[in-house]
């Protein structure tokens, strides 16, 4: 897969060093993209993945570190990407914060942290990268969450930021067409959250019981959907694809 002769297309994957982000970056690399791999704290994981990808295709993965909730760091990230790549063909807004915010105790700092990482960051990253995404075949894929439609107890701000990102997906599809397509993916139960008791054993059992396919999905399910939207869906924009094993169909 190439843009100019001899030049691979470039995909920026935010939060790409671990979990679903890692699967997305690995799959996109396998289908021909060079990867701009963003991370915040997970330097060791990012370096290991970059080494793995570059071992199969030299100089095919570059690392970029930033806190996307920090406006200054986000500007520096966009400028570094523009300096490195004349064209960016795919932006996957995968990086996200996930934490409980019961309305009785949520602090302004918690609210702002979720808003910054999950909504403001993706918005201004799109804005910052526009000069490199006007090729006519670029796209943005926003990673959302089924909980934007089916609220998770005590995660009200998280759900609101993902609902906002879904609305932004539709609005930007209208505003940025025809040059840039913008779509979203709403994962269901793919990986259980880390270090959180909102999905205890009883909740996990209930979730699987109410999922028609009766199992967790895999990170590759999301990665393949990103690949489809990026490479095989030239007439799809402004849409959200739910990947949840049918869970959202069951009341």
Catalytic residues: 158
- CB-CB contact of 126 with 172 (8 Å): yes
Quote the CA–CA distance of 189 and 54 in Å, as a whole number: 31
Joined tokens for residue 12: 């920026």
Q: Is the dihedral of CA 146, 64, 31, 191 positive or negative?
A: negative
Joined tokens for residue 65: 């570190």
Which residue is it, tokens 């400028």?
Answer: 79
Joined tokens for residue 17: 């060093």
Q: What number of other Cβ atoms are within 10 A of residue 151's Cβ?
A: 13
Instruction: Give bridge partners of residue 140 from the DSSP assignment.
Output: 91, 182
> How many C-alpha atoms does 63 have within 13 Å on its Cβ side?
19
185 DSSP assignment: E
- CB-CB contact of 9 with 36 (8 Å): no
Q: Is 104 left (phi over 0), alpha (psi -120 to 50) or beta?
A: alpha
> How many C-alpha atoms does 37 have within 13 Å on its Cβ side?
35
């Amino acid at each position: 897969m190439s843009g100019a002769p001899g030049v691979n297309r470039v995909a920026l994957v935010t939060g790409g060093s671990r979990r679903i982000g890692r699967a997305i970056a690995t799959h996109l690399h396998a289908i021909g993209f060079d990867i701009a791999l963003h991370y915040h704290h997970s330097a060791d994981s990012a370096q290991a993945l970059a080494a793995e990808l570059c071992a199969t295709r030299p100089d095919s993965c570059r690392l970029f570190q930033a806190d996307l909730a920090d406006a200054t760091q986000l500007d520096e990230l966009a400028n570094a990407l523009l300096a490195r790549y004349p064209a960016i063909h795919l932006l996957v807004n995968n990086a996200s914060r996930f934490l409980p915010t019961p309305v009785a105790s949520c602090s302004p700092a918690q609210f702002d942290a979720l808003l910054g990482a999950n909504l403001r960051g993706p918005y201004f990253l799109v804005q910052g990268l526009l000069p490199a995404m006007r090729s006519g075949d670029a796209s943005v894929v926003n990673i959302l969450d089924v909980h934007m439609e089916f609220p998770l107890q005590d995660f009200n701000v998280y759900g609101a930021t993902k609902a906002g990102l879904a609305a932004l997906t539709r609005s930007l599809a209208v505003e940025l067409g025809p040059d840039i397509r913008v779509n979203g993916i709403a994962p269901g139960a793919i990986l259980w959250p880390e270090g959180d008791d909102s999905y205890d054993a009883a909740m996990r059992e209930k979730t699987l019981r109410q999922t028609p396919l009766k199992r967790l999905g895999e990170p590759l399910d999301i990665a393949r959907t990103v690949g489809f939207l990026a490479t095989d869906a030239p007439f799809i924009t402004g849409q959200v694809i739910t990947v949840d094993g049918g869970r959202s169909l069951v009341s």
